[in-house]
Chains A and B, each alone.
Chain A
Amino acid sequence: MNWSAAKNWGFSPVDGAPLVALRLVFAALVLFSTVRFASYGWIESQIVDPEVTFPFWIFASVPRPGWWAAWSLFAAMAAGSLLMLGNRPRLGAAVFFVPFTFVELLDKTNYLNHYYFVSLMALLLAFLPSQRRDAAGVPRFARDLPKVLLTLVYFYAGIAKLHPEWIWDGMPLRIWLPQHNDFPVIGPMLTLPETAVLFSWGGLLFDLTAGFLLWSNRWRPWVYPVVVVFHVMTWCLFPIGVFPWVMIGCTTVFFSADFHRRWIAVATRKELPAFRPEVYRWPSSNRGFIAAAFFLCVQLVVPWRYLAYPGELFWHEAGYRFSWRVMLIEKAGAAFFYARDDQGREREVDLNAFLTPNQIKMMATQPDLLIQTAQWIERRDAEDGLGTEAVRAEVWVSLNGRRSQLFIDPFVDLTEVQDGPGQARHWVLPMDSVVTMSEYRRMKPELRAKAGW
């Protein structure tokens, strides 16, 4: 198929009702999510109150919002959602997208795949035609782009599960499911390792296939209920917030246009304009088509960037985010930081003094956050006139049911470590170099001497 054939196919007219529906459902979901976030007091506890944050590198020098600014950002998100609900979808999506994505990138410790998904969907809606009048006809590629994104999310989440620990050990479900042994009826079953493996395979099969089967008129009636049950189950089992509802809502975009016309007519008490391909006049510009193709290419490639880094991805996490690795690993850590001054004297740093409990939890297992913590310690000590020259950390991490082991080189100066896109994390110990605490305590004097610390 050549370019013009592809373009002809992409710009052929289709009923725009599913896009109108997606916009309404998405707007309602993000409005709920915004209100929920604010009502839980998270604007204060996650954005305003923390003494320090862990920004993505592009935002490293952006000033942090204060109370007014943070509430304004959330007010803008709510306003954007309302604009989307009220037939100003592109403007609304843009007004929502900018503050939402900004807040998302302010602090890595708040990163969630579902925030990323919401950002991408908002970005699409900022360009796609989803006003009521667009129901009369939209280009095929515009209607299908959100579907392709959803398919990609499910499929990549499935690929990420093609890991021996997920498939053969039933990890991490084997740790997570038994916690719910107090559920009525199914509780006792959840404690069996076989159940974990069964759930793992079920989840894997679901993720690999659901995104594709939803396209098929024949399969959709059977798959969508599975989508609902699957996500509701994850909502029951795990503390994952609104994500299940976002997916249950957004996947309705696969439904027929007739279906959407019907419920929208009932819900808004007004029929959508009829689909009229004969009057369809969509400027078939290259720009939108190329942008869509570019968006998809980026989405296809980004999750694979981890291949550029040696070692176990789940361990060093270089290239872990933005790749639909959802509910994939159970990782916990405990980190002790030590600052050394210009006279070679060392003190233990009290992390509780400037990190929130959530930040302490997140930071202890993610190498880039460990580095940012060390940089914060150096900066704060400089302000206090403490003369900190170097910062090291003894970090213990357990992954997927393994016992805790030493995570990073305990005698590397973390303030000197270069980390960022393309940098392999050699200072993270290989996962198979299991150093237990008792071994470390034996080796410590020798390691210290060798490192000249």
Chain B
Amino acid sequence: MRLSQVNLLITGAAAIVMFTITGCGGAGGGDPQNDFDRGPLLRQYADQSILPAYEAWVEATADLHLRATEMVSNASPESLTATRTSLENAFATWQKVMLYDFGPAMDRALLQTTNTFPVDTGGVMEDVYDANWVAGTPASLDQMGLPALDFLLFHGSTDQVVSDIESNVMLGEHVLRLTGNLADEAVAVQSLWNSGFRETFVEATGTDVGSGIGMLLNAFNRTWEANVRKEKLGFPAGISTFSQTPLPGHVEAPFNGSISVSLIKGAFASYRDLYLGTPVQGDGSLGLDDYLRSLGNAEYGEQLDSDIQAQLVATEAALEELESPLSAYVVDNQNEAFEVYAELQALVVLWKLDMMSAFGVAVTYQDNDGD
């Protein structure tokens, strides 16, 4: 081979390299005809599910802070009840937000600062008297957010909590620090979404870890497995204790006592809706179900979607078996609670394994095995 020939070839090869790099570097908003376009799906999720969820969360936490402020300045059974109702609403709204634990929410540890439970009540009481309290230190995540407020507002009868707040200025002040922190964090995350992250999210149409669908689904699976299946039902039912003793104190909002079951159902509804793309107004809503069906593979497309939908029905039916209060149910009906848990776990396998394989969404940033 002549030298000039080699040079020519190297140049040609380099040109091809450059062409290919520029070709595949930018994941543009192309318009594939015969298959699923993730761009519209991401836009729909951003604009019709995620941003409205954060808007609702900002409103719910603002209302909670407002009610709490009124209650602290004028403690009464009425103002306490209004604050408690607002807290219940915040708990319920949070179930629509918790699954978006990526991007700004993850950067600000929203999931951990908002709802780490069971609450460390001793720690909360120390915080009440700590003038230099700082929100969100790693060691105190179980002393803040919704669980701490559940404890402070529901630790006794209406009259007793009212008189506690009247007699202890620091208690009321700490309630306001907690509600203020929730409201601030909600606004912080929402404004990050509004000031650029939405675009980052919808424009990353690939399937790597940092893509919109990658971030969304990795958070979806992780929180479903750990924060719904395990935290909301598994731990209270005693799946991780050797003695298999139920842990009724580990239910969500134990001091309120009456909403734990509805919170699980609310969380389930959020995950189901994200899968089906249902909370969207009007026709033509997209969902992961449509995405699966578009894959054109019988087993991994239509069949998997049918199986997931059937499991969603089964899981919803199982959740109907749970009785309130959950703290009593896991003690009296532990085996039944385990059965409901198994239905939640079946979705883990279908979503985290089969669905992720079908979409080919990356789970970690690590290099893969190359060819």
Contact = CB atoms under 8 A, between A and B. Distances in A.
Contact of A361 (B1, B13, B303, B364): B364
Contacts of B230: 350
Nearest to B241: A347
A225 interface: yes
B368 interface: yes
Given A176-B360, A191-B34, A232 B17 contact: yes
Contact of A241 (B206, B345, B367): B367
Interface string B197-226: 000000001111000000000000000001
A297 B358 CA distance: 40
Given A183-B24, A185-B23, A334-B349, A221 B1 contact: yes
Interface stretch (A17-25, A122-130, A132-140, A251-259): A251-259
Contacts of A229: 13, 16, 20
A54 interface: no
Interface in A206-246: 207, 217, 220-221, 224-225, 228-229, 231-234, 236-244
A6 interface: no
Nearest to A342: B242
A336 interface: yes
A403 B208 contact: no
B353 A113 contact: no
B105 interface: no
Nearest to A206: B371
B296 A191 contact: yes
A234 B370 contact: yes
B32 to A, nearest CB: 4
Contacts of A179: 206-207, 359-361
A242 to B, nearest CB: 8
Given A240-B369, A244-B370, A441-B342, A404 B354 contact: yes
Given A228-B13, A350-B230, A330 B363 contact: no
Interface in B281-310: 295-297, 299-300, 303-304, 307
Contacts of A286: none
Q: What is the interface residue range for chain B against chain A?
A: 35 or more
Interface string B12-37: 11001100110110111110111111
Given A182-B32, A334-B349, A396-B349, A239 B368 contact: yes
B349 A113 contact: no
Nearest to B20: A232
B16 A403 contact: no
A114 B370 contact: yes
A401 interface: yes
B270 to A, nearest CB: 21
B357 to A, nearest CB: 5
B176 to A, nearest CB: 34
A437 B346 contact: yes
A164 interface: no
Given A184-B26, A187-B32, A401 B299 contact: yes
B367 A240 contact: yes
A183 B352 contact: no
B35 A191 contact: yes
Contacts of B370: 112-114, 234, 238, 240-241, 243-244, 326-327
B100 to A, nearest CB: 18
B307 to A, nearest CB: 8
Among B1, B33, B303, B342: residue with most chain A CB under 10 A:
B1
Contacts of A50: none
Interface string A333-374: 110100101000111111010000110010000000000000
Given A112-B367, A239-B367, A347-B244, A187 B30 contact: yes
B359 A203 contact: no
Contact of A182 (B3, B23, B39, B361): B39
Contacts of B295: 178
A60 interface: no
A92 to B, nearest CB: 24
A240 B368 contact: yes
B305 to A, nearest CB: 12
B309 to A, nearest CB: 14
B240 interface: yes
A401 B9 contact: no
A401 B297 contact: yes
Given A175-B358, A334-B349, A157 B35 contact: no
A398 interface: yes
A239 B1 contact: no
Nearest to B364: A358
Contacts of B318: none
B272 interface: no
Contact of A326 (B26, B33, B371): B371
Among A220, A243, A345, A437: residue with most chain B CB under 10 A:
A437
Contacts of B195: none
A445 interface: no
B243 interface: yes
Contact of A334 (B3, B12, B300, B348): B348
B371 A398 contact: no
Contacts of A397: 353
B13 A181 contact: no
A184 B346 contact: no
Among B346, B360, B363: residue with most chain A CB under 10 A:
B360
Q: Which 3 A-B pairs have the closest CB atoms?
A: A243-B370, A240-B370, A241-B367
19 contacts: A178-B35, A182-B28, A184-B28, A187-B32, A191-B296, A224-B9, A225-B9, A232-B16, A232-B21, A233-B20, A238-B368, A238-B370, A239-B362, A240-B367, A241-B370, A262-B3, A330-B357, A386-B242, A404-B353
Interface of B: 1, 3, 5-6, 9, 12-13, 16-17, 20-21, 23-24, 26-30, 32-39, 205-208, 226, 230, 234, 239-244, 295-297, 299-300, 303-304, 307, 342, 345-346, 348-350, 352-354, 356-371
Given A224-B13, A240-B367, A256-B3, 12 more contacts: A112-B370, A180-B207, A181-B30, A182-B27, A185-B30, A238-B370, A326-B369, A334-B352, A345-B244, A347-B239, A404-B350, A437-B350
